[in-house]
Structure 1
Amino acid sequence: MSNTHPQTIDCTGLYQRAESDRIAPSLYYDPALFEAELENIFYKTWIWVAHESELPNPGDFRTTTIGRQPVIVVRDRSGQVRVLQNRCRHRGATVCEKQKGNAKGFTCPYHSWSYALDGTLRALPYGDGYEGVVDKSELPLASLRVGIYNGLIFASFNQNVEPLDDFLGGAKPWIDLFMKQGAGYPVKTNGEHKFKFKGNWKIQLENTTDLYHFPVVHKSWLKSIDEETEKIITSFMTSDQAFCRALGNGHSLAVLMPELVDLDQDDGAPLPERFKPLIEQLSSKHSPEAVRRIVRSLLGVGFNLNLFPNLALSMAFFRVLRPISAEETEIRHVALGMDGGPEEANRERLRIHEHFQGPFGFGSPDDAEAWERVQRGSYAGPDLPILVNRGLNRETTAPNGEKTAHSTDETGMREAYAKWREMMAAAESGAAGEKA
């Protein structure tokens, strides 16, 4: 029995709307194509659902949604992370509505069927009505396949999905580098906010490694920061060390600040003047080496990493997308901190996060406005393609197949659409085989 959305989607010809250097505007608004994406991408591959720091103890859980399907991410009594469909096996009600917490199990509020943390059906009231009818062992909460890499928890409805290590492939070394921003402490989530924008999920997917837009869209943010920080952030426009790279399987990378790519490698450059008061605070409790490591990590790492299809590791935070409809997407911005690290440094990280990504920050509203204008504009000239061809003239291919171009080029977008096209074409091929 399939755990995916039961609707049968005709994928014929849909994947042909995305070419190697351009896409059809209908990719942003066609409801039939959106349904096919849910079925053949979000219900078929690995989707990021949580970070291990959110589930430190047995019974800790958080709820989330994959496509339209609600799930529970929970650490069971044995310490194993499980991802369960948030749907009672009796009449289909959700068994948990809290965003996060700690529980001994989950009980349906409709008829009180109760489930253990591992999903097994523990009890149902007035059981005499089910004698000879129901075997509790056959009715657990449905489980998804789970994979974890460096604290990132992924899940898939597809029990035959490729191993997570294979799926992440060339992105793994960059995930490892991203997690070094704990400055010797484990990385932890440190609060989040979410918002919706009136636009297709792929518009946001494109944005994470699109550095071309940064000095244009984020002028207001650049005016709000000191000159020293502005020079550090915008150096990618002229640096020959900054680049964009396709990592395979739809994943991509944009390096903004090469000097902060590996935070274990300290070039000895002076610490930013803006952090002088914090440096003085930290110096009373930490060694000079530890202070440098902590302060250098405040801006996160020097790159954005896009993990197809729903997670961005963006310098110092997680950006998570959830497709709601062809024309609406939910975004979660998850702040990061040092688990066990100095609170004054974690507060500074949070202030930096709020300044750009927060609900009253400068960056997120400007991004959302740009995304919505792309959505509205896509209706003008439906036969005019949307271009993702910047940098084709200077893109190089390494022996391992990874393509690299200038930091402002659209190599990352082309990689995402190559994976999109592969998955949608596979769905069409599979459907054709079934009909034959």
Structure 2
Amino acid sequence: MLQAHEKFNDLDALYTPDARVATSMYEDADLFNEEMERIFKRTWVWVAHDSELADKGSFKLSNVGLEPVIVVRDRKGEVNVLVNRCRHRAATVCEVKKGKTSSFQCPYHGWGYGLDGSLRGLPYPEQYGEDFDKGAHGLKKLRTETYNGMIFATFNDDVEPLVDFLGPEVRRYIDLFMKQGGGFPVKVLGEHQFTVPMNWKVQLENTTDAYHFPVVHKSFMQSLDGDAEEAFKFLETGKGFVEDLGNGHSVMVMIPERIDLDEHLDDPVEERFLPLVQELRNGGYPEDQVKKIVRAVGGAGFNLNLFPNVSFSLAFFRVLTPVNVERTDIRHIALGMDGGPAAANRMRMRLHEHFQGPMGFGSPDDAEVWERVQRGTKGGEDLPILVNRGLIDEQPGALGPRGHISAETGMRAAYKMWKRMMSL
């Protein structure tokens, strides 16, 4: 039997130059383990949004690949990402998903850690001798950097700075996405998590896939009023595009007139937002602010996909966490306006529930087809998975190729980065 490192020498056989993906990419447990080491431990991975750590002592649990981590703001206001594992006997030191604390303590033998991960104390230290160095036994701390409220961490101290990993076009789209605060800072309103029996790369592909929208989300389209339904007919209008932004990142622009939410403020308001307009006016908001808030409530007109684990999708964050070769956890994070009108945030939540929520029209349908993709890989292992749609007419973009709105350009961007990292 071939060893793992021998099996993956020929990466061109796993992702071919003509954009075909080997079935084993979704099924091979050895390959999955290599991905966790070569990708998730070597690059920047999104772990939290700044608003989730509003105060000193605020924390939340997250993951970097398979590694459980705590994201916490310490007493100096700095954000630390700490591996959630006691340095003594490996028990997790926190099991509460989010909250506030002054320290972390292992429940097994009582080792206590500060918010910066330092070992503060342990019972009966004399049994370790006079040479025991507490400074060498703190929680493992990851390199951490932030861009526009987005917190990333990595195990790789030698990786390029976050701003370089993102690149200029990704940073521009992040800045545009954050305009949906409507003049207020963007904040996390809540989230829900679900598990799908699929390989993580099935999800990596999905948020840059407009081709599936009118098929999988037909019921969602039927639930919309006339104005909203027209906005989501982006495959018919053909005005959008998908673009490779470098380093595995891509953007899928579905509604070009909503790329910059500070533009088109005088366009007619969609019918579903008219009650909100009146509520804001009644609340004393001036007309220019009403227009800005209402336009922001509808979300951006694009999905920004960041390799390897997070998407900025229209009006929410979608985060994937690999669990094993055929299981992935998905978190959908609802976003609102920090300090903004309660009516606007309420509307944001209703829109989130309508599509992304566990009883919504979008996510359950997505999860069904993701699971069916994984089940389908059991048949015909010699048959490749095709991500070559749109190769025939791609054009140069700012940093990489740009394709038709239904093209699989974004998937190819991710797989190019996958191949690059797996070859290291």
Structure 2 length normalisation: TM-score? 0.96
Q: Distance in 1 between matches of 2:93 and 2:149?
A: 26
Matches within 5 A, 1:74-153: 74-153=72-151
Q: Which residue of 2 aligns with 1:213?
A: 212
Matches within 5 A, 1:336-355: 336-355=335-354
Q: Which residue of 2 aligns with 1:3?
A: none
TM-fit CA distance, 1:324 = 0.7
- Are the structure 2 counterparts of residues 254 and 307 from structure 1 closer, same or farther at C-alpha, using a change threshold of 3 Å? same
Contact 1:259–1:267 at 8 Å: present in 2 too?
Answer: no
Structure 1 counterpart of 2:11, from 12, 15, 32: 15
Q: Which residue of 1 aligns with 2:245?
A: 247
Q: Which runs of 5+ in 2 are unaligned?
A: none
Find out whether 1:155 has 2:153 as its counterpart.
yes
Contact 2:73–2:79 at 8 Å: present in 1 too?
Answer: yes
Report the more deviating stretch, 292-301 or 182-191. Answer: 292-301
Find out whether 1:57 has 2:55 as its counterpart.
yes
TM-fit CA distance, 1:159 = 1.1
Superposition RMSD in Å: 1.4
Q: Which runs of 5+ in 1 are unaligned?
A: 1-7, 427-436
- Are the structure 2 counterparts of residues 11 and 424 from structure 1 closer, same or farther at C-alpha, using a change threshold of 3 Å? farther
- Which amino acid in the other structure matches residue 144 of structure 1? L
- Which amino acid in the other structure matches residue 301 of structure 2? G
Percent sequence identity over aligned pairs: 55
Q: Which residue of 2 aligns with 1:387?
A: 386
Q: Distance in 2 between matches of 1:369 and 1:137?
A: 49
- Which amino acid in the other structure matches residue 156 of structure 1? T
Structure 1 residue runs of 4+, over 6 Å off? none
Matches within 5 A, 1:386-425: 386-398=385-397, 400-425=398-423
Q: Distance in 2 between matches of 1:115 and 1:122?
A: 5
Q: Distance in 2 between matches of 1:363 and 1:94?
A: 35
TM-fit CA distance, 1:13 = 2.3
- Secondary structure, counterpart of 1:212 in structure 2: coil
- Secondary structure, counterpart of 1:27 in structure 2: helix
Q: Which residue of 2 aligns with 1:434?
A: none
Deviations 1:48-105 (A, max 9, x none): 0000000011110001122221111000110000101111111111111110011101
TM-fit CA distance, 1:425 = 1.2
Q: Distance in 2 between matches of 1:137 and 1:225?
A: 58
Deviations 1:139-187 (A, max 9, x none): 1111000010000000001111111011101311000100000000000
Deviations 1:92-125 (A, max 9, x none): 1111111001110111111111011111111111
Q: Distance in 2 between matches of 1:14 and 1:225?
A: 48
TM-fit CA distance, 1:15 = 2.5
Q: Which residue of 2 aligns with 1:166?
A: 164
Contact 1:9–1:35 at 8 Å: present in 2 too?
Answer: no
Q: Distance in 1 between matches of 2:91 and 2:203?
A: 32
- Secondary structure, counterpart of 2:237 in structure 1: coil
- Secondary structure, counterpart of 2:232 in structure 1: helix
Contact 1:84–1:143 at 8 Å: present in 2 too?
Answer: yes
Structure 1 length normalisation: TM-score? 0.94
TM-fit CA distance, 1:219 = 0.5
Contact 2:118–2:138 at 8 Å: present in 1 too?
Answer: yes
Q: Distance in 1 between matches of 2:69 and 2:10?
A: 28
Contact 1:11–1:424 at 8 Å: present in 2 too?
Answer: no
- Secondary structure, counterpart of 1:63 in structure 2: strand
Q: Distance in 1 between matches of 2:135 and 2:410?
A: 46
- Secondary structure, counterpart of 1:297 in structure 2: helix
Contact 2:225–2:271 at 8 Å: present in 1 too?
Answer: no
- Secondary structure, counterpart of 1:275 in structure 2: helix
Structure 2 counterpart of 1:265, from 263, 271, 277: 263
- Are the structure 2 counterparts of residues 10 and 156 from structure 1 closer, same or farther at C-alpha, using a change threshold of 3 Å? farther
Contact 2:179–2:262 at 8 Å: present in 1 too?
Answer: yes
Q: Which residue of 1 aligns with 2:203?
A: 204
Q: How many residues align?
A: 418
Contact 1:11–1:36 at 8 Å: present in 2 too?
Answer: no
Q: Which residue of 1 aligns with 2:294?
A: 295
Deviations 1:185-216 (A, max 9, x none): 00000100010111111001101010000000
Q: Which residue of 2 aligns with 1:73?
A: 71
- Secondary structure, counterpart of 2:221 in structure 1: helix
Q: Which residue of 1 aligns with 2:331?
A: 332
Q: Distance in 2 between matches of 1:130 and 1:411?
A: 57
